[in-house]
Structure 1
Amino acid sequence: MKRNHEQHPDLFSYSTPVDHLALPNHFTFPYYYDPHPLAQIAINELQNYLETQTEWAHDFHSKGNMFAVLVVRSARGELGFLASYRGKPNQDNIAPSFFARSHPISSEHQQTIDSLQLKASTLSSDINAAVNDIAFCQLKSRKKELTLFSERESTSFQQTMENNKKERNRKRDTAKAKFHQDKDKKQLDDVIKQLGIQSSSDKRAFKTLKTQWKQELDTIDDKIDSHEACILSLKSERQKVIESLDTEQQNACQLTNALGDTKSLYQLFNCNETQRNPIHHSIEENLPKLLQAAFAQGLTPLALGEFWWGKSPYNQIRQHKNLYPVCQSKCFEILEFMLKGIEIDESPLEQTPSLNKTLEIVYEDEALVVVNKPAEFLSVSGKHISDSVLARLQERYPDATGPLLVHRLDMSTSGLLVFTLTAETNKHVQKQFIERCVQKRYTALLEGVVAPTEGVIDLPLTGDMQDRPRQMVCHEHGRKAETRFEVLSVENGRTKVYLYPTTGRTHQLRVHCAHQAGLNTPIVGDDLYGFKDSRLHLHAGYLKLRHPVTEQDMEFEVPEEF
């Protein structure tokens, strides 16, 4: 792996002979692909370099990163590849001179950006100074002290009033006993009158006390409110500067495509009167950087390959050396523009893998249907694929009422699925699933040896909003997800297990198996959290529920095909 192109300083030549390989007919579909042989060789050479290089230091055992290669052809027909890592140049001590550079920024844009950054920094300093102003802090402290003191004094005064009231009641009772004759009525009235005057005096004194405290605290509150209004004003001004800075940075990022067209990042996300912001750091993803470098140097992109190198982050799941698609959530709008003028492979995501597959009916009666769903078969129709279990059952049972659907399985998961044929039975069975009365057991083959023979995995899950449809572990915002596991056998370095989910989160079993705090062993064929294979080796093999009409327990079991 070497550079020897004067005209193309970022271009690497192949160390491995590649002249015998045919060029790809179309560019790689970026969101789901098997790498072209030219891309795979480039990946191998880059990975070999990462294993042996001594030019720069980074502890990939502590923090990994996503790397990519872009196979290109020069105007003179020379083959080579560009290499990149996710992030900004010089990030994490990874040599900036080695990998494709980020997008250049004009001096005019840079001056404006520098000016806005300075202004934002100055405002942040002003805000920090205002928040920590000595007089302001003393006011807040004084308010806290006075509030506590006023509460104590009010409580004490109220207790005194309560004691005075008890004493007045005692005196009133004594006077009534002493002056019970009609001739003593005037003396009794005088005593009661004096006691009433004392009561009124206590109430006036308490009201005066509360008024005094309120006036003193209101004076302090006015000063605090005035100072906080200044802080809010500074924060509002800083926010406007940050928004201007963000817009300027997006305008400064000029993107080019194969047709020679140029658009700023801001223009891509703010067209047709729709204002949006790209996902943070989307421009630092590998493929946009690589394409920009290729177009800038007059190179023709031919194929792509992207892989993870090093330790996986905790929340997400990444496998060392494994290949990954481009993040569609971050890059779709950017690549939609940058890939104009380039013929791309057909999307595998829009093909129908279930087209010639049969759907086995395990059980059916007038109330419900249980099917054995094959792998790579949608439970319900998707955006691009209409064939699904639900669609076929709707065709098979045209007189069925209600939604039919009770629960789902991932497209790649095989096994038992329950459907209902009436609205009433649907509610009945749905309730069983919601109340977790249905017993489910999955069988999975794991890509490695699991040491414990049984246990419970408790890792909360949430969707990865920046990389859908992946799920991630999040102890702060994730929803509870729990799975019990039981090891069945170990053979040829792979472990077969039973999985018993007590919750039903998206991709729960797949994440719990693959995550470093779970079994740390992905399911064989898991193209999201592990490594590709002939299929996802996960099967919903056992299910027990109550019949919605007869109320009898029903058990279903179908063996896995792996």
Structure 2
Amino acid sequence: MTLSNLNTNKFIPFSVNISDYALPSSFTFPYYYTPHPLATIAMDELQAYLEKQTEWPHDFNQMGKMFAVLVVKNSQGDIGYLASFCDEPTQGAQDNHPDFFVDAIANPCQTDDLIDKIASLRAEIAQHKNASGYLQLQHTVRQKHLESEQQISDLQQRNAKAKATRKQARRDMESKLGVSINEAQLQDFISDLGAQSSREKRALKALKQQWQVEIMTLNDALKVEQSVIDDMERQWAKLNESLTIESQKSCLFLNQAGVEKSLYDLFNYQSQSQSQDQEQRPISGSVLATNSASNTNSTPVISSTHVMNSTPIANSSEQNLPKLLQAAFSQQLTPIALGEFWWGASPYAQIRQHKNLYPVCQSKCFEILEHMLEGISTDPSPLEQTPSHNKALDIVYEDDTLVVVNKPAEFLSVSGKYISDSVQARMQARYPNATGPLIVHRLDMSTSGLLVLTLTAEANKHVQNQFIERSVEKRYTALLEGVIQQQSGVITLPMCGDLTDRPRQMVCHEQGRGAETTYQVVSSKNHRTKIHLFPKTGRTHQLRVHCAHQAGLNTPIVGDDLYGFKDSRLHLHAGYLKFVHPVSGETLEFEVAADF
């Protein structure tokens, strides 16, 4: 690809003959897909350009970017594609980018006045906070607090010593009663001691009142200064809120019918819909589904696995597919197929693989694409198919209390909204008289291996407590996409959910929960490594993240479509369990070898 053969309207013709490729009958389901061959060719061409280009100053070895291509057809029937990359929306950011990439949707110039006001007010706030008089007043208040505490403490200590002295003096005088003094003399002495105590208490009270008045006067002066700053910060917050709303209103999205909706309108509509029609718009999860009830895929609907956002996630308008569709509809181009890939180094927290394909970010794009894809036929959602259909569920162990099964890969532990077939469902059918929840723990749908179920509520609680107390011994087997040099070790990387890109997990040393995995290499062959994994904790996707992350093994599990590369299956198997029988107290051990 060269800049000279690119059209100014962003339409990029293929550089190879594509006449042998049939066009797809429907558009790519954006949240889980295998790219159409034309999208693959377009991505190859874009990657070839990225390999050789020199005009873009960005260092992809330091931080990569997400790129995408949209195969399109123009009004003359020519097939080509549009190209995009995901970047932070900043003023002037497009100036240094090759001009054949589609433009940003948001127009920051429309909010320049607000941005200037916010910056000016922020500077004014900083000026007030750093003013010498304000800083000196704060310092004086702190010093007076310290002085008052010290003086009051010193006086309290002196009073305590005086009290002890008086107490001893009274005991001494009482011992002299009837020897050298009489009762009247003793009472006079005690009265003098009481008067001394009263004077000391009054002095302490007066000192406290003196400091209270002085500090209150200083605090009043400080409050006057602080109120000015508080007023400005409230004004700044309102301007920021106005900027957010105006930015959302200025960010306009087209669909193929030419209907334009702003980011603000889309999310206001979603919020109203959530409150008015919860049944038609269920809230949980994160995929775009198709309306199978009408036997058409033309209208996207919300599936049970999408979490409705009340406000847009930052950078939503800068995601690739919205920008590509915007460019296509603006230029009267028909969208045909999508392909998206990561190019360059991975960020630390999230896991991205160079040149790997990725689906559209559901958390950021769903509400936007629901509008932009309206009326466009999309492929059926693979996420709503039942991959466990006709798969056998092997019983490894069975008694009146326990069942241990060997769950196949791509088999749900518990039923979902649209996929009812699961280990739990089959066990409920097999043991209709069982009590309690049956399921003790879960395995990811893609993970195969040993799963424990209980047939009574008491047994469930007993075995579940063993998992909670981490007394259950577990061993997983994985096949990694590379060679591991260190034969054994421990990975400790704290993890949390990526709220901007569910269901992915991320490494976070600030907010993440502790996660620990011990590993031991079993063998290496054909540039792949079989490994045993011993999780001490049970965080979501822990083993997958610990293997793939650059601070872990930096080698993804074969077939990991979230943190690595797609394959025939996720090569992760729960092969060994050891725990105590909830009734007999006998130690049980189960082992089923991985089939890879």
C-alpha distance in structure 2 between counterparts of 1:179 and 1:423, whole Å? 79
Q: 1:141 aligns with which of 128, 135, 139?
A: 139
Instruction: Tell me by how many angstroms 1:341 deviates.
Output: 2.0
C-alpha distance in structure 2 between counterparts of 1:110 and 1:313, whole Å? 30
Secondary structure of 2:66's partner?
Answer: strand
The equivalent residue for 1:238 is: 236
- 1:524-543 aligned at under 5 Å gives the runs 524-543=558-577
Instruction: Tell me by how many angstroms 1:62 deviates.
Output: 0.6
Tell me whether 1:256 sits opposite 2:235 in the alignment: no
The equivalent residue for 2:404 is: 370
The equivalent residue for 1:99 is: 101
Instruction: Tell me by how many angstroms 1:207 deviates.
Output: 0.8
> Are 1:406 and 1:426, in contact at CA under 8 Å, matched by a contact in 2?
yes
C-alpha distance in structure 2 between counterparts of 1:174 and 1:388, whole Å? 88
Aligned AA for 2:383?
A: L
C-alpha distance in structure 1 between counterparts of 2:245 and 2:195, whole Å? 72
Q: Which runs of 5+ in 1 are unaligned?
A: none
User: Which piece of structure 1 moves more, 273-282 or 37-46?
Assistant: 273-282
Q: 1:199 aligns with which of 190, 197, 200?
A: 197
C-alpha distance in structure 1 between counterparts of 2:63 and 2:7, whole Å? 34
Instruction: Tell me by how many angstroms 1:7 deviates.
Output: 7.0
C-alpha distance in structure 2 between counterparts of 1:8 and 1:389, whole Å? 55
Aligned AA for 2:24?
A: P
Secondary structure of 1:98's partner?
Answer: coil
> Are 1:2 and 1:14, in contact at CA under 8 Å, matched by a contact in 2?
no
Aligned AA for 1:459?
A: L
Secondary structure of 1:196's partner?
Answer: helix
Aligned AA for 1:125?
A: A
C-alpha distance in structure 1 between counterparts of 2:455 and 2:486, whole Å? 42
TM-score (norm 1): 0.96
Secondary structure of 2:476's partner?
Answer: strand
> Are 2:438 and 2:453, in contact at CA under 8 Å, matched by a contact in 1?
yes
Q: 1:472 aligns with which of 497, 506, 512?
A: 506
Cα distance change on mapping 1:230 and 1:51 into 2, 3 Å = same
Tell me whether 1:360 sits opposite 2:367 in the alignment: no
Cα distance change on mapping 1:256 and 1:120 into 2, 3 Å = same
Secondary structure of 1:19's partner?
Answer: coil
Cα distance change on mapping 1:188 and 1:6 into 2, 3 Å = closer
> Are 1:487 and 1:496, in contact at CA under 8 Å, matched by a contact in 2?
yes
Aligned AA for 2:540?
A: T
> Are 2:30 and 2:338, in contact at CA under 8 Å, matched by a contact in 1?
yes
> Are 1:371 and 1:418, in contact at CA under 8 Å, matched by a contact in 2?
yes
Q: 2:115 aligns with which of 114, 117, 140?
A: 117
The equivalent residue for 1:10 is: 10
Aligned AA for 1:264?
A: S
Secondary structure of 2:269's partner?
Answer: coil
> Are 2:6 and 2:12, in contact at CA under 8 Å, matched by a contact in 1?
no
Deviations, residues 521-553 of structure 1 (Å, cap 9, x unaligned): 000000000000000000001111111111101
Instruction: Tell me by how many angstroms 1:93 deviates.
Output: 8.1
Cα distance change on mapping 1:52 and 1:96 into 2, 3 Å = closer
Aligned AA for 1:20?
A: D
Aligned AA for 1:75?
A: S
The equivalent residue for 1:422 is: 456
User: Which piece of structure 1 moves more, 146-155 or 69-78?
Assistant: 146-155
Q: 1:310 aligns with which of 340, 344, 349?
A: 344
TM-score (norm 2): 0.91
C-alpha distance in structure 2 between counterparts of 1:450 and 1:293, whole Å? 45
C-alpha distance in structure 2 between counterparts of 1:94 and 1:513, whole Å? 36
Deviations, residues 323-348 of structure 1 (Å, cap 9, x unaligned): 00000000001011101121111110
Q: Which runs of 5+ in 2 are unaligned?
A: 273-308
The equivalent residue for 2:302 is: none
- 1:27-66 aligned at under 5 Å gives the runs 27-66=27-66
> Are 1:406 and 1:418, in contact at CA under 8 Å, matched by a contact in 2?
yes
Q: 1:286 aligns with which of 313, 316, 320?
A: 320
Instruction: Tell me by how many angstroms 1:510 deviates.
Output: 0.4
C-alpha distance in structure 1 between counterparts of 2:395 and 2:29, whole Å? 36
User: Which piece of structure 1 moves more, 83-92 or 455-464?
Assistant: 83-92
Secondary structure of 1:169's partner?
Answer: helix
C-alpha distance in structure 2 between counterparts of 1:176 and 1:415, whole Å? 87
Aligned AA for 1:315?
A: A
Q: 1:498 aligns with which of 520, 524, 532?
A: 532
> Are 1:3 and 1:13, in contact at CA under 8 Å, matched by a contact in 2?
no
> Are 2:411 and 2:445, in contact at CA under 8 Å, matched by a contact in 1?
yes
> Are 2:55 and 2:98, in contact at CA under 8 Å, matched by a contact in 1?
no
C-alpha distance in structure 1 between counterparts of 2:2 and 2:94, whole Å? 23
> Are 1:381 and 1:388, in contact at CA under 8 Å, matched by a contact in 2?
yes
Instruction: Tell me by how many angstroms 1:96 deviates.
Output: 4.8
C-alpha distance in structure 2 between counterparts of 1:512 and 1:476, whole Å? 17
Cα distance change on mapping 1:92 and 1:260 into 2, 3 Å = closer
C-alpha distance in structure 2 between counterparts of 1:415 and 1:93, whole Å? 53
Identity of aligned residues (%): 58
C-alpha distance in structure 1 between counterparts of 2:497 and 2:169, whole Å? 73
Instruction: Tell me by how many angstroms 1:2 deviates.
Output: 4.3
Secondary structure of 2:363's partner?
Answer: helix
C-alpha distance in structure 2 between counterparts of 1:178 and 1:67, whole Å? 99
> Are 1:3 and 1:11, in contact at CA under 8 Å, matched by a contact in 2?
no
Secondary structure of 1:402's partner?
Answer: coil
Instruction: Tell me by how many angstroms 1:159 deviates.
Output: 1.9
Tell me whether 1:229 sits opposite 2:263 in the alignment: no
> Are 1:69 and 1:83, in contact at CA under 8 Å, matched by a contact in 2?
yes
Instruction: Tell me by how many angstroms 1:426 deviates.
Output: 0.4
Instruction: Tell me by how many angstroms 1:150 deviates.
Output: 1.3
The equivalent residue for 1:72 is: 72
